[in-house]
Amino acid sequence: MPQAEQSLLDEVNAMCGDDRCRRIVLDHCPGIDPAAAMGTFNARIHPRDQMLLHSLRHHRDAGAAFSQYFGIALQQYSSAHQIMGMLFGDAAVGIDVLDFACGYGRLLRFLGLAMPPSKIWASELQADAVAFVEQAFGVQAFASHADPAQFTPGRQFDFIWVASLFSHLPESLFHAWLAKLISLLAPRGVLCFSVRDAALMPEGEARPASGIAYVEASENADIGTDIYGTTYADEAFVRRAVRATTGYDRPLHRLSRALAHEQDLYVFAQDPHHDLSGLTAFRRGPWGWLDRASLSSSGELRLQGWAASLDDGAVDCVEIDIDGRHHHCATGVARADVSAAFTDVRLEHAGWDFHCMLGTGVHAVRIAVSARTARRETALLYVGTVRVDEGPPGS
């Protein structure tokens, strides 16, 4: 690893061990009492976690990488937690859960705070990830297999969560893993898996008539591209695949852009009489980003970014903490790029622009930026340190 990248990784690791950063993360975790969870919350990230390394290489900023990693993890947890609650009610805390293709535990670190880790199983192809999540989060972990036919956990589950696996599978494995995981559902079981919609294919690339396209490239260099690349699939293909697996129609509900505001979530019920209509109340929550941050030698701090809700449109303001001092900054700045990215005209003025004078002699400040909806849903936009003459995150 290059020295510059290692330095950034060391800075992220320090943030993961910092109580202030840990508390900020927990403050954005729905259904969790931050004060009660501080003693058990493990924020440590495995040094080979591809999701973190990808962010570090893209942003070249420790705060941006930390914020993106945990921001996506929190949104994933919020989605899984909501769906479990909607479908199992108060019994959700006692169901048997499998986080399949769990990676290095981006979801597990939060899920284990909301329910007993003894009720959580995790599986992953990468052996070091299996060992890490078992030790770090106290869940029951076991190895997956490149061949679905060879994956035999020896039990069934009430809820199987699969984030960002089917968005990487070639068509044959898409069908094979769908069949395998459905076979592992208990009679009341529910499978929730994410898919990257064909509408997100790069501009100029034609959608295949089959409804699924596979590209032999991904951010995970540890897994061969013959079994793990980049997949796009439309809803018609997914529904045909489920029907082909089960032999007839079963309850299947699509939640568009419900995972990290990018991938669709499909919720499948083993019980043909299971009513999934309650999922129409699903909330994606707020989202946003800090695009630019600067601190001048005269002590002027300027922060710029955007914040929005895919449920309701732009949020009214963002909340900014500067070394423990709280501020609010209204949105309303034109951001045609945000509106275009989400194909949502409500987000045309989702931008915000904040500046204040901190005074001479200030060379660095610790900041945290959050978005909050009228329903008190929150998203972590950024936490990190801004230093004099330091360029914008991601520059």
Give per-residue pLDDT as tens, 274-311: 999 999 999 999 999 999 999 999 999 999 999 999 89
pLDDT at 188: 96
Q: Determine whether 168 is exposed, middle or buried from the number of CB atoms within 10 Å of its CB (0-12, 13-18, 19+).
A: buried
CA dihedral angle for residue 74, residue 392, residue 296, residue 328, rounded to 10 degrees: -30
Q: Does domain 78-281 have CATH number 2.10.70.10?
A: no
- Can you give the C-alpha Rg of the chain in angstroms? 21
CA distances from 323 to 18, 390, 392 (A): 14, 17, 19
Contact 191, 182 (CB under 8 A): yes
- Contact call for residues 304 and 354 (beta carbons, < 8 A): yes
3-state secondary structure of 366: strand
Sorted by sequence, the CB contacts under 8 Å of residue 305 that are 6+ apart come out as: 288, 289, 290, 291, 292, 318, 351, 352, 369, 381, 382
Q: What is the pLDDT of residues 22-71, one digit of tens each?
A: 999 999 999 999 999 999 999 999 999 999 999 999 999 999 999 999 99
Which of 225, 81, 246, 85 shows the shortest CA–CA distance to 178? 246
What letter does residue 203 receive in the DSSP assignment?
A: T
Contact of 196 with 231, CB cutoff 8 Å: yes
Query: Token pair of 180, please?
Result: 């395998």
Q: Could you tell me the two tokens for 64?
A: 């941006």
Residues of the chain with pLDDT under 50: 392, 394-395
DSSP string spanning 127-174? HHHHHHHHHHH--EEEE--SSGGG---SS-EEEEEE-SSGGG--HHHH
| Residues 356 and 327 sit within 8 Å (Cβ to Cβ) | yes
Taking each helix axis as running N to C, give the angle between helix 3-16 and helix 62-88, from 0 to 180 degrees, rounded to the nearest 10: 50
CATH topology of domain 285-395: Immunoglobulin-like (2.60.40)
CA atoms within 13 A on the CB side of 210: 10
Rounded CA separation 267/258 (Å): 11
Q: How open is the CA angle 174-175-178, to the nearest 5 degrees?
A: 85
| Those residues with Cβ within 8 angstroms of residue 302's Cβ, 6 or more apart along the chain or in another chain | 292, 293, 294, 295, 353, 354, 355
Give the residue among 207, 212, 205, 143 at the shortest CA–CA distance from 172. 212
How high is the pLDDT of residue 393? 54
143 vs 161: CA distance, rounded Å? 16
What is the distance between the alpha carbons of residues 322 and 257, in angstroms, rounded to a whole number? 32
Of the CA atoms within 13 Å of residue 205, those in its CB half-sphere come to 14
Q: Where are the domains of the chain?
A: 78-281, 285-395
Residue 187, H or E segment: strand 185-195
Q: What angle do CA 141, 145, 148 make, to 5 degrees?
A: 115
Closest CA to 81 of 141, 10, 161, 142: 161
Q: What is the pLDDT of residue 394?
A: 47
**378 membership: H or E segment, kind and range:** strand 378-387
Residue with tokens 């989400």: 342
pLDDT recorded at residue 96: 98
**How is residue 91 annotated by DSSP?**
G
Classify each residue of 32-43 as buried b or exposed e, where b means 16 or more C-beta atoms within 10 Å of its C-beta: bebeebeeebbb
- Report the predicted TM-score, pTM, of the whole model to 2 decimal places: 0.94
Residue 294 is encoded by which pair of tokens? 């600067």
